[in-house]
Chains A and B, each alone.
Chain A
Amino acid sequence: MVYRRDSEEQTRSSVAPACALLRSKGMYVTGRLNPGEDDPLTGEVGDGHCWCNKTQNVLGPDDALVERGRCVPGRDCYQPGVV
């Protein structure tokens, strides 16, 4: 059996629910929520670029960066999604 280990940071990513305002190319192309996530269907790698649907910018309503790992509960501008 092959031994594999990912760093803690990687395994922790995308656990918390994402803000409903988070947007990425991948969400439109593949329908996948996590913009940094690879697509198992095709092997494509997420580009990691995200933006906020409210500001249409890489900076959110709080002027902080928009990222999958940052747009989670606890951030002032966070909006829960349906999923």
Chain B
Amino acid sequence: MAEYSWPRRGTTSLIDTEQTRIDGVAKASGAAKYSCDINPKGTLVARAMGCPHAHCKIKSIDISLAKDVPGVVLVSPAKAIGDEIQWQGDIIAYVAAETEGAAAEGVAAITVEYEMLDVFVDDQHLAAAEAADRTGKPLSNVQLVNEPGDDEDEEAFEEAEIQRLLEASDVVVEGNYGINVITHMCMEPHGSTCEWNGDQLTAHLSTQNVSGTAGQFADPLGITASDVTVHCDFIGGGFGSKFAADSWGVACAELARQTGRPVRLMLDRDIELKTAGNRPSGFIKVKIGADKNGVVQVWDSQQWGTSGASGGGVSQGVVPYVFDPENRRRTATSIATNAGPQRAWRAPNHPQAAAITHTAYDDVAAALGIDSYDVFLRNLDSVSNDKADVYRAQMERAAELMQWKSKWHAHGKGEKKGSVVTGLGMGIHTWGGGGHNSTCRITIHPDGGVETALGSQDLGTGTRTVIGIVVAETFGLPLDAVNVKIGSSSYPASGPSGGSTTVAGVSESNRRAAQDALAQLNELVAAKLGVGAADLVAKEGRIQASGDASKSLSWKEACALLGMTPLEVNGEFRRGEPSSLSSSQVAGVQMAEVAVDLDTGIVKPLKFVAVQDMGLIINRKTAASQIYGAVIMGIAYSIFEERIMDLQTGAFLNAELADYRLPRLGDIGEIVVDLWEPDSEYERGVVGLGEPPVISPGAAISNAVANATGVRVPVLPLTPQRVLDALGSA
């Protein structure tokens, strides 16, 4: 088996440099075609009708008036009489029409009678959920250094041991913390344009899962995956919510089949936010015992939250987050609500876990009157991964960039300028990022043209560019010499973009294929030049004998040796396979400096430092861009965005872009990104980066607000009202 490797650090021409996205101009100019831009001749526009009620039964559906609306071609109910609706926005019917206006009019003409049912959406109050019989059976998980005796009752022992440890602690901190539900808020809503050619379906789907969705269309439509081609050149955000064909995707295909015309069905923003994914809430009551240095001796927590109708909430497996004290008890209770179902949101569970547990660690520092940095540092011996030394080094670097030591003051003891106080906070995180399964096909044409094709997708993160860099670097060519073909399920299968697995997966398959292809080409060149193939190197557009530039061919001359037949080479990587090209597991440290206006409750980020490891960096520009974007997204969920529900009706009150608060440029402050990259990082190969930098902002910003004000604002986002409420009750 061939041995694959990366070029030595410092010898690369493209890898580990800053490269502009190869599709940047297309995206910035509007030339890039998204799913809703696909407009075959005769395309019908479809719209979905969402249920206005959060919990009800369908008594009747009358579509006769809708069918008579001029321009309406087909009305298709998605629910039947007697069906129970469990959240507002669940789709009841679809209308396909000649125009957007006719489709909207058709939706408005559908008449539905409902039987109203009891509504429950209060996920913040466990007692209320218990009273409403909306809680699942609590899950508990205990870990203790001491063991019960053989005849001892386990639960009684656990309770007594936890109490003993708390009493033995130098300080005990009790607190309540929480983080609300947010939605994915993809700029491009879920949807597709579907067209049939005989019994062959092409679905232009907004998806993170190009190679994995053909089978999802096929089963409900009664065809096979080989009858389906999924196509997605560009996607306007997914963040974990676009892995399925979805019922509305299948409905789009069915409408197209029944009408015999292409159909475009994109969810309206209102339905998008209500039904196409959200991040679960997490609330926690914590009792934490620590020694006089802030080292946690015992953790005892009870958490709850919701993922919608199924219950759910934040996994207790990541509580407390990263830190794993030897003595801990954690209990989690799910709350079923009449709210839309959750979907994976960038680093599932981790941001919420960081926000509701690193805040408790920070409150230990506040209680002891010591530096939060020191408390985080002193607890690193208990981290749940093997990254303690990495965290130490990254904390030192982050503190230097933040000027932490010179800016630090005890909680609530900083200088007040007018009504404004400032403070510092931090958080640490972890993530996997190992590559997914990936296959690709690299073709070298006799005229020198190079292309690579794989069923991957670019979420806007720069995957296309990463692939191009890997292939171009291997062949010693400029980036624009490689034609990167992704976004079609007709290409060799590659994994979905989730879990920060893409860059490692596609780098693996493409580097392997490129090295194999170059080896075959080198055999031909070697024979021509009369040198050994192993002595050849590809660089600066030529293949030449190492150390002897006089013996060389241009890339084009070398490719001409192929004769009339292109050279095709497949590359394959299987997840988990040992490889020198990629690995997994990253750490990461983030620090925030904020200003808080005590009169208005407004929190303003001043400076945010993100120190992040990611193994070998393929493209420094898009790597940094990922971190900038993640920090901005983190600031958004820390201070601004949340799903606001009406407790009486279950209505999602801010399900529009106009009402769903997101930060503007002036709300962000300075962001300092530090790519943490000692040689050991380069040597361990590529690791995914998408998720990790979005994890810590909630903890870091909440801790900074607590440091500034001396008061913990318990629930994120830290809206002015919540800040004022916390200040008022302090």
What is A's interface to B at a CB cutoff of 8 Å?
1-7, 9-10, 21, 23, 25, 28-31, 36, 38-39, 41-49, 51, 53-58, 63, 65, 67
Contacts and interface: CB of A to CB of B under 8 A. Distances in A.
B71 interface: no
B496 A49 contact: no
A49 B434 contact: no
A31 to B, nearest CB: 7
A3 to B, nearest CB: 4
B557 to A, nearest CB: 43
Contacts of B585: 42-43
Interface in B125-169: 137-148, 154, 158
Interface stretch (B336-344, B398-406, B638-646): B336-344
Given A42-B585, A56-B249, A58-B341, 6 more contacts: A25-B499, A29-B436, A30-B499, A45-B317, A56-B216, A63-B83
Contacts of B215: 53
A43 B433 CA distance: 10
Given A29-B436, A29-B501, A2 B348 contact: no
B531 interface: no
Interface stretch (B111-119, B304-312, B588-596): B304-312
B283 interface: no
Contacts of A39: 432, 499
A23 B240 CA distance: 14
Given A2-B144, A30-B575, A45-B348, A58 B310 contact: yes
Contact of B495 (A28, A38, A43): A28
B608 interface: no
A48 B496 contact: no
Interface string B343-354: 111001110000
Given A23-B244, A43-B385, A49 B318 contact: no
Contacts, number: 143
Chain A binding surface, main DSSP class = loop
Chain B binding surface, main DSSP class = loop
Interface of B: 83-84, 137-148, 154, 158, 209, 212, 215-216, 219-220, 240, 243-247, 249-250, 307-310, 312, 315, 317-318, 326, 341-345, 348-350, 384-385, 430-434, 436-437, 495-496, 498-499, 501, 575-576, 584-585
A2 B137 contact: no
B434 to A, nearest CB: 5
Given A3-B147, A53-B219, A54-B219, A43 B83 contact: no
B595 to A, nearest CB: 34
B310 A31 contact: no
A53 B436 CA distance: 22
A56 B142 CA distance: 37
Contact of B575 (A41, A47, A49, A51): A41
20 contacts: A3-B144, A3-B145, A4-B144, A10-B141, A25-B498, A28-B495, A28-B496, A42-B431, A42-B433, A43-B432, A44-B348, A44-B432, A48-B307, A48-B342, A53-B220, A56-B247, A57-B246, A58-B308, A65-B309, A65-B310
B486 to A, nearest CB: 16
A1 to B, nearest CB: 7
Contacts of B495: 28-29
B243 A25 contact: yes
Contacts of B310: 48, 58, 65, 67
